[in-house]
Amino acid sequence: MKFAVIVFPGSNCDVDMYHAIKDELGEEAEYVWHTADNLDQFDGILLPGGFSYGDYLRSGAIARFSTVMTEVVKAANAGKPVLGICNGFQILLEAGLLPGAMRRNRDLKFICRPVQLQVENAETAFTNSYSQGDVINIPVAHGEGNYYCDEVTLETLKANNQIVFTYKGDNPNGSLEKIAGIINQQGNVLGMMPHPERAVDSLLGSNDGLMLFQSIVKNWRESHVVNA
């Protein structure tokens, strides 16, 4: 499986993402600059964390208009797996690929520490290697991770089982309903604030994030066997 790691001016987690895919997962990965106008050769799209375009205006607000985002939307509409982590999640929200918005952390401070997540939906293309209710250790590093949506959107997320991860115990950023990650209704676009690419080896303090990437590959291979 071949992944595109999208790089915006200000991305700073692209190398972590590349390492997770290439060195830990053993799959193909390629850095793709934000000016790219074709992603057809890739099987999966990864939007890493960082501060795209300096987070001016709003986190992800400028990156949303990058040339490559037209191709990301195209890939998402084609059913390819698209994963946005931290700033990547913010970009997916700004692009309308996921519902809701991101606000400043409740305490208006940047947070960088390990947190516990609970797997709320283990039947997605991104979580099929976990079990329902699993508690995993994944670090966060953000200043604007306070997820918010209106009541109608929240009820829709719940009804469609689109809330994939929640914070277990402590709510580090004040996120609505402790939401840490959501998926689109089609099930192929996931956005999450915690960084699974920083939890792919026990030397990093946790390897709980590796199973998320393994899930993507597992789902992709199974779907291609069925469609072969």
Per-residue pLDDT at 223:
86
Strand partners, 196: none
Question: Is residue 157 within 8 Å of 176, Cβ to Cβ?
Answer: no
- pLDDT of 94 strictly over 80: yes
**Structure tokens given for 49:** 């964390």
What average pLDDT score do residues 178-194 get? 98
Rounded to whole angstroms, the Cα distance separating 118 from 131 reads 10
- Catalytic residue (choose from 120, 142, 144, 195): 195
Ordered domains of the chain (ranges, CATH) = 2-227 (3.40.50.880)
Per-residue pLDDT at 80:
97
The residues near 15 (Cβ < 8 Å, ≥ 6 apart) are: none
Q: Is-catalytic flag, 86?
A: yes
- pLDDT of 102 strictly over 90: yes
State the chain's mean pLDDT as an integer.
95
Question: Is residue 49 within 8 Å of 20, Cβ to Cβ?
Answer: no
Rounded to whole angstroms, the Cα distance separating 209 from 201 reads 8
How many helical (H) and strand (E) elements, i.e. helices and strands, does the chain have? 5, 11
What average pLDDT score do residues 106-120 get? 96
Q: If residue 91 lies in a helix (H) or strand (E), which one and from where to where?
A: helix 87-94
- Catalytic residue (choose from 13, 86, 120, 149): 86
Question: Is residue 140 within 8 Å of 111, Cβ to Cβ?
Answer: yes
> Per-residue pLDDT tens for 146-171?
999 999 999 999 999 999 999 999 99
| Cα–Cα nearest to 117, from 1, 185, 65, 195 | 195
- pLDDT of 228 strictly over 60: no
Q: What angle do CA 126, 132, 134 make, to 5 degrees?
A: 90
